[in-house]
Chains A and B, each alone.
Chain A
Amino acid sequence: DADVTQTPRNRITKTGKRIMLECSQTKGHDRMYWYRQDPGLGLRLIYYSFDVKDINKGEISDGYSVSRQAQAKFSLSLESAIPNQTALYFCATSDAGQGFDEQFFGPGTRLTVL
């Protein structure tokens, strides 16, 4: 089984709809991240969480919210989706050990907002 899973893998929705993307991990890591990837822009951090009670905004948090339901689960919500939120979304995890531990990525969710 994959260590970091994301659901759904693909989603097409309409402008104004509320969307939730889910991430689960079995690695036992405390730190979890949500990124979006756009062609030519690399990865940009949306939100990150260093433990269950810790939520931090990243570079591009506007229009997004997150919930850390448990150590293993970190959900990303788009309250009212808009077309420029069409992107590939990745969840990642890392250990809390030494500041810059390796990040382990899920397979991604491709979101299209019409």
Chain B
Amino acid sequence: AQSVTQPDIHITVSEGASLELRCNYSYGATPYLFWYVQSPGQGLQLLLKYFSGDTLVQGIKGFEAEFKRSQSSFNLRKPSVHWSDAAEYFCAVGATSNYQLIWGAGTKLIIKP
């Protein structure tokens, strides 16, 4: 069965520091992978997605993610975080059986001034 693991429940980084949020998936074929962000009190917004092609994907707000098939990972990165990046981040994989998304538990990003 497809599944998504986000190993870190919380991550704290200093403003201006680099960020990497981890996502591991379990899926038999080439996965459809997504990162969404949930700002406090709001719904989720798509940051980026990977369907095929270049394994380094650029998204909105300066985020990028790299698909590594050998590691079953799709980690999200940003070179320099801003206080406005404080939010919860969700990784998801697409289930081709019914075109639904399987979601990770989320990682809450805390920014230190």
Contact = CB atoms under 8 A, between A and B. Distances in A.
26 contacts: A40-B9, A40-B105, A42-B90, A42-B103, A42-B105, A42-B106, A43-B44, A43-B90, A43-B101, A45-B101, A56-B98, A90-B43, A92-B43, A99-B32, A99-B99, A100-B32, A100-B34, A100-B49, A100-B99, A102-B49, A103-B46, A103-B101, A105-B43, A105-B44, A106-B43, A107-B41
Interface in A22-60: 40-45, 48, 56, 58
Interface of A: 4, 40-45, 48, 56, 58, 90, 92, 99-100, 102-103, 105-108
Contacts of B49: 100, 102
Given A99-B99, A102-B46, A107-B41, 4 more contacts: A44-B103, A58-B100, A107-B42, A108-B43
Contact of B100 (A48, A90, A102, A108): A48
B80 interface: no
B33 to A, nearest CB: 10
Interface of B: 4, 9, 32, 34, 41-46, 49, 51, 90, 94, 96, 98-101, 103-106
Residue of B43, B44, B105, B106 contacting most chain A CB atoms (<10 Å): B43
A77 B98 CA distance: 23
Contacts of B41: 107
Residue of A42, A102, A103, A108 contacting most chain B CB atoms (<10 Å): A42
B43 A41 contact: no
A43 B103 contact: yes
Given A41-B105, A56-B98, A4 B46 contact: no
Given A45-B100, A56-B98, A100-B94, A107 B43 contact: yes
A4 B43 contact: yes
Residue of A43, A45, A56, A106 contacting most chain B CB atoms (<10 Å): A43
B100 to A, nearest CB: 6
A43 B42 CA distance: 14
